Structure 1
Amino acid sequence: MEMLLLLLLLLLPLTLLWWQKSPRMRKAWGHRVALRALGWAAAWTKWRLEESTRCVHQSQKQTLQRCFQGPRTATCPRGEIPDLDSFRNQFPLVRPCLDSHSKAGGSDEGLAKLQHPPFNPTPWETSLQATLLSFNSLKETYPGALVPGGTARLTLTSPWPCSLPWPLRPLAWACPPGAGAGDPRTLLLAALGTRDLQVLEAGTATELLDVFCCLGADWEGLVEAVAAGQPGFSPLAPDRAAELKTELEQGPQGLARRLWPQLQVVVTTDAGGQDVAKAALGATWCQGLPFFSPAYVAAGGMIGLNLSPKQQKPGYLLLPGPPFVELLPAWERSQEEAPCTLLLGEALQGKEYELVLTDGSHLTRCPLGDVVQVIDFYNQCPIVRFVRRLGQSLNVRGEDISEDVFSGALLCAVGLWPGAKLLDYCCAENSLVGSFSDASAPHYEVFVELRGLRGLSEDHRHKLDHCLQEASPTYKSLRFRGSIGPAQVHLVGQGGFCELRNLLSSSPSFIPFSSFPPEMPRILKHRDLVQFLLRRVVS
């Protein structure tokens, strides 16, 4: 709040001069002032970040005190704020439940039980801090990226933790003037009609992948719409439409840079599990373009801040709060029923931890299921990299192949399929497939969407099985003994996974918890979702 007041005081006299200029001069002048204000605000924010990360134990204690300013419970009456150790003793961890009937039967009532306690959004002050630092990093790393009209968002959701306050608003581009903010097609048309874009924005890499897939499927209609213009929004643009048609006819390889020659960077949020989508975009539509993720998001809130905009696999600084974050040692899960959580300053480099978030309104300590690895430190705070999600593992005979191991094996196998590029995938245990499976031994059912390959052969399936054996010695041993059968691979038709994500977003019973973005499961555990994909299998 004090940072916003400082901005307003600095810009108040300049605002009076702003109204005296012509509309065109006012826009350019306002943009220059916003850039200068961004530098001031980012410097102030960086100083506060330094202070909070140098004394992380004290910062987390203050965050916990803020949590107790609201609700009171029988274990912690008003006026009594426990220290960090007694807080962990008084409030046990609460894990989300997975109803066994929902896993096997697929009823909506059971599916609705797979959820985390509802979390409050990330406090505005923390979100603003991350947004200011990220905008400033973008400006310094990619000169000219924040030119007026140079940014287009292609999805309804934003990659930034919060919107910019009024003095900095000229730097942001939300939606076309007069256009419906709830219409994704309008956002895409606005971007296509503007040749001089510098930055593309999308909520996540997966959402951006869906946008480009839709562009490939309906490009002729979009080109016609650009040529005809939109009443009250954009004029006729036959020349731009002809240019778009020429580029789109050449296919998806490097399409983004051909449509927008001045494009510098793609901005998306990292929500975990986005590596496949980023790889697919980087190999086709966004070839040659760097990606920048301002923040790491989990359970509907911002958890980590990216301080290295040029890294393709960035690390995220875990902020001391709010919200209040703890770390649960991942390597102790099999040894103890209830391992003790650690504070941020107690983390060890190279170790893996599950994130634990405390909901300020209910004082609920909930493990999120996101496992991260500490790769470095910023002062006393750990910098982490997402590794995998717990619960997203395959286990038909005790082999327990995690999401990251399976994903790596699948990417390795697709690399051996000539001409194929992996766009998306999901898999399930064969018990959920029922009559569609003829194999007797338990095995995996794998659903993939590809570019450059129209059908799958037995050789393709054999290569995936070989890569899985190389990635997991336990799986290899079980395959040798015949306890697990070979993986069955299904090719899903174009747009099948986009339809699956739309189903997950539109059906509350399928969404694991209320968050941005809705979690895309890699391991399907509900029969209804498996049957949904089976109806879209083409090979």
Structure 2
Amino acid sequence: MLLLWLLLLLLLPLPLLAMHWQQRSRGARPCWLISLQHRVAWGLLGWAAVWQQRKLERSTLNVAQSQQQALRWCLKKAQGSCCLPRENTDVSTFQNHLPLTQTSHTQEKESEEKLLPSTLPQYHGDAPLQATLLGLITLNKAYPEALAPGSTACVTPASPWPCSVPWLGHALGRVSPVGAKDARTLLLEALISPGLRVLEARTAVELLDVFVGLEADGEELAEAIAAGSLGRLLPTRAAELQEALQQGPRGLALRLWPKLQVVVTLDSGGQAEAVAALRVLWCQGLAFFSPAYAASGGVMALNLWPEQPQGSYLLPPGVPFIELLPIKEGTQEEAASTLLLTDAQKEEDYELVLTDSASLTRCRLGDVVQVAGTYNQCPVVRFTCRLGQTLSVRGEVTDETVFSAALAQAVGQWPGAKLLDHVCVESSILDSCDGSAPHYEVFVELRGLRNLSEENRDKLDHCLQDASPQYKSLRLRGSVGPAKVHLVGPGSFRVLREALAACSSSVWPPEMPRVLRLRRLVQLLQKRVLS
């Protein structure tokens, strides 16, 4: 590790020199300097990735030993008092002495004055660095020209790469200004670079917001490009932007950047619908890649297989210390005990339990994974749902996966409609006074449909009944009322996400909720209902 950082320090002057040339004149940067810094950066990156790959191989071939080491590290670094020996505690003693704690969703209850901060810890360890180094190498192998100088742009202030090394990104040829935090400037930099091969955004929902905003503000952005707001007059590129926008959203990314190959975003909870909308509309024909899965505040799993579209991730045996809690389908009953990574069974579902030195508790996160296979001795999983996003107004259990599938089926029956985003609310949150039975309130943002007929609204309830026998039984008895669907205007969910991000201590990256439990947030959407 020390050798790696020494090499990083040796490389540091090259990108700084390049930045100096860039500040003097964007068009006068010497080609030899760009080529040199790119070659040296890739040489260093390749060496570091080989080192991380070997380290990952060792740890995944000796999972029991690796997990014991991870536990000892957590105990040794634990903040505050610790009731267990920091050096000699084995896994069994640890499990017997520390009870499971569940991430409380009571903090999601309404506060009239403010949003209560999240208390989830931020997880660390080798996973962020491994995900970044191995992800860059994997991406370059899958798309050999994707990371050539000037071929990559990030259009959000935060990067999808879990370990931030800004100057290394510049050395690898990103067109985004180093340290830029203004989303408009980042988008303009990308728009004036027609040779892009890789488009980055922290998460898919944020990239969705970028494209929706691009359509809304396209004329203003074109005028800024033509007027030279970034230091160069580019009327031809501005005209290309206007022409691309006039042809509609479908395939817009490839019209703007004909060489574009792949979209990189960081996968986390609630991103699936945004990815689906981007694939169908703006990013049609492009591959998507996520270097890792981030859940509840940190990197939980690594993506070593970009060619698999369903999102298979490796659960590494390092820090944080991971346990698996078996769950029963359709319930949230607690199992008798947790399992270690080596005990995971294929096709079984488990809830993640994490322990980190920042908060020495065995925390049930609510993130559910299904084991799809193994990598050496470690499970390869798919993230399926989040228990905290379950709907229940009469004791039924309608989880995130079931509801999303029913909604997708219903939207498929709405002529011309494409689903961009949605959230659900249990009617008790709204304190309805109309005397109706408890029910689901659903807010959707669509493309291609400006009004919802009653017939279309009813289709969601029918699809829910088909998907959930328990829900259907309650509906037939009248214990649960029909789901109510509200269509909100464009940009409504961007406003919602801005309100969520306003909570300064919210987890990173921001997971997109599918069930809202704060009336204040629901009211933001109610004000934007179109029909």
- Normalising to structure 2: TM-score of the pair? 0.92
Structure 1 residue 475 corresponds to structure 2 residue 476:
no
Summarize deviations over 1:139-178 as a string: whole Å, max 9, x none: 010110001011010111111111348667511637326x
Task: Name the CA distance, whole Å, in 2 between partners of 1:11 and 1:431.
Answer: 58
Any unmatched runs of 5+ in structure 1?
none
Contact 2:72/2:87 (8 A) holds in 1: no
Contact 1:131/1:294 (8 A) holds in 2: yes
- Cross-structure match for 1:41: 48
Q: How many angstroms does 1:496 deviate by?
A: 0.6
Structure 1 residue 458 corresponds to structure 2 residue 454:
yes
Identify if the C-alpha distance between structure 1 residues 413 and 10 changes in structure 2 by more than 3 Å, giving closer, same or farther: same
Q: What is the letter of the counterpart of residue 182 of structure 2?
A: D
Q: How many angstroms does 1:414 deviate by?
A: 0.4
- Cross-structure match for 1:264: 261
- The SS at the match of 1:210 is helix
Contact 1:392/1:521 (8 A) holds in 2: yes
Q: What is the letter of the counterpart of residue 315 of structure 1?
A: S
Q: What is the letter of the counterpart of residue 163 of structure 1?
A: S
Structure 1 residue 505 corresponds to structure 2 residue 513:
no
- Cross-structure match for 1:485: 481
- Cross-structure match for 2:124: 122
Structure 1 residue 421 corresponds to structure 2 residue 428:
no
Structure 1 residue 107 corresponds to structure 2 residue 112:
yes
- Cross-structure match for 2:25: none
Q: How many angstroms does 1:90 deviate by?
A: 1.7
Contact 1:37/1:167 (8 A) holds in 2: no
Task: Name the CA distance, whole Å, in 2 between partners of 1:397 and 1:211.
Answer: 39
Task: Name the CA distance, whole Å, in 2 between partners of 1:13 and 1:453.
Answer: 54
- The SS at the match of 2:244 is helix
Task: Name the CA distance, whole Å, in 1 between partners of 2:424 and 2:7.
Answer: 50
2:506 pairs, out of 485, 510, 514, with 514
Q: How many angstroms does 1:26 deviate by?
A: 1.7
- Cross-structure match for 2:66: 59
- The SS at the match of 1:490 is strand
Identify if the C-alpha distance between structure 1 residues 183 and 168 changes in structure 2 by more than 3 Å, giving closer, same or farther: closer
Task: Name the CA distance, whole Å, in 2 between partners of 1:12 and 1:185.
Answer: 28
- The SS at the match of 1:304 is strand
Output aligned runs, 1:81-480, within 5 Å.
Answer: 81-99=88-106, 103=109, 106-108=111-113, 111-112=115-116, 115-119=118-122, 121-123=123-125, 125-164=126-165, 170-171=171-172, 173=174, 175-176=176-177, 181-230=180-229, 233-331=230-328, 337=334, 339-435=336-432, 438=434, 440-480=436-476
Q: What is the letter of the counterpart of residue 61 of structure 2?
A: R
- The SS at the match of 1:266 is strand
Contact 2:270/2:511 (8 A) holds in 1: no
Contact 1:93/1:364 (8 A) holds in 2: yes
Task: Name the CA distance, whole Å, in 2 between partners of 1:34 and 1:428.
Answer: 49
Contact 2:327/2:335 (8 A) holds in 1: no
- The SS at the match of 1:375 is strand
Structure 1 residue 73 corresponds to structure 2 residue 81:
yes
Q: How many angstroms does 1:332 deviate by?
A: 8.7
Percent of aligned pairs with the same amino acid:
57
Q: How many angstroms does 1:336 deviate by?
A: 5.6
Contact 2:127/2:300 (8 A) holds in 1: no
Query: Alignment RMSD, CA only?
Result: 2.6
Identify if the C-alpha distance between structure 1 residues 67 and 385 changes in structure 2 by more than 3 Å, giving closer, same or farther: same
Summarize deviations over 1:34-71 as a string: whole Å, max 9, x none: 22333333222212111110011100111111112223
Identify if the C-alpha distance between structure 1 residues 196 and 371 changes in structure 2 by more than 3 Å, giving closer, same or farther: same
- The SS at the match of 1:382 is strand
- Cross-structure match for 2:526: 534
Task: Name the CA distance, whole Å, in 2 between partners of 1:376 and 1:228.
Answer: 54
Output aligned runs, 1:8-27, within 5 Å.
Answer: 23-27=30-34
Summarize deviations over 1:276-311 as a string: whole Å, max 9, x none: 000111111001111000000012211100011122
Q: What is the letter of the counterpart of residue 323 of structure 2?
A: E
- Cross-structure match for 1:4: 4
Task: Name the CA distance, whole Å, in 1 between partners of 2:521 and 2:81.
Answer: 40
Task: Name the CA distance, whole Å, in 1 between partners of 2:416 and 2:330.
Answer: 41
Contact 1:226/1:238 (8 A) holds in 2: yes
Contact 2:294/2:301 (8 A) holds in 1: yes
Contact 2:323/2:338 (8 A) holds in 1: yes
Q: What is the letter of the counterpart of residue 102 of structure 2?
A: R
Task: Name the CA distance, whole Å, in 2 between partners of 1:407 and 1:367.
Answer: 23
Contact 2:292/2:300 (8 A) holds in 1: yes
Identify if the C-alpha distance between structure 1 residues 445 and 167 changes in structure 2 by more than 3 Å, giving closer, same or farther: closer
Summarize deviations over 1:107-156 as a string: whole Å, max 9, x none: 346x527x33433x423x43222211110011010110001011010111
Identify if the C-alpha distance between structure 1 residues 262 and 174 changes in structure 2 by more than 3 Å, giving closer, same or farther: closer
- The SS at the match of 1:363 is strand
- Normalising to structure 1: TM-score of the pair? 0.90
Contact 2:157/2:180 (8 A) holds in 1: yes
Task: Name the CA distance, whole Å, in 1 between partners of 2:510 and 2:9.
Answer: 39
- The SS at the match of 2:302 is strand
Task: Name the CA distance, whole Å, in 2 between partners of 1:394 and 1:163.
Answer: 36
Contact 2:426/2:439 (8 A) holds in 1: yes
Contact 1:131/1:164 (8 A) holds in 2: no
Q: How many angstroms does 1:222 deviate by?
A: 0.6
Aligned residues between the structures: 519
Contact 1:428/1:525 (8 A) holds in 2: yes
Contact 1:439/1:485 (8 A) holds in 2: no
Q: How many angstroms does 1:326 deviate by?
A: 1.3
Summarize deviations over 1:374-393 as a string: whole Å, max 9, x none: 11110001111111111211
Task: Name the CA distance, whole Å, in 1 between partners of 2:9 and 2:210.
Answer: 41
Contact 1:3/1:41 (8 A) holds in 2: no
Task: Name the CA distance, whole Å, in 2 between partners of 1:479 and 1:13.
Answer: 67
- Point out the more displaced range, 162-171 or 147-156: 162-171
- Cross-structure match for 1:525: 517
Q: What is the letter of the counterpart of residue 107 of structure 1?
A: E
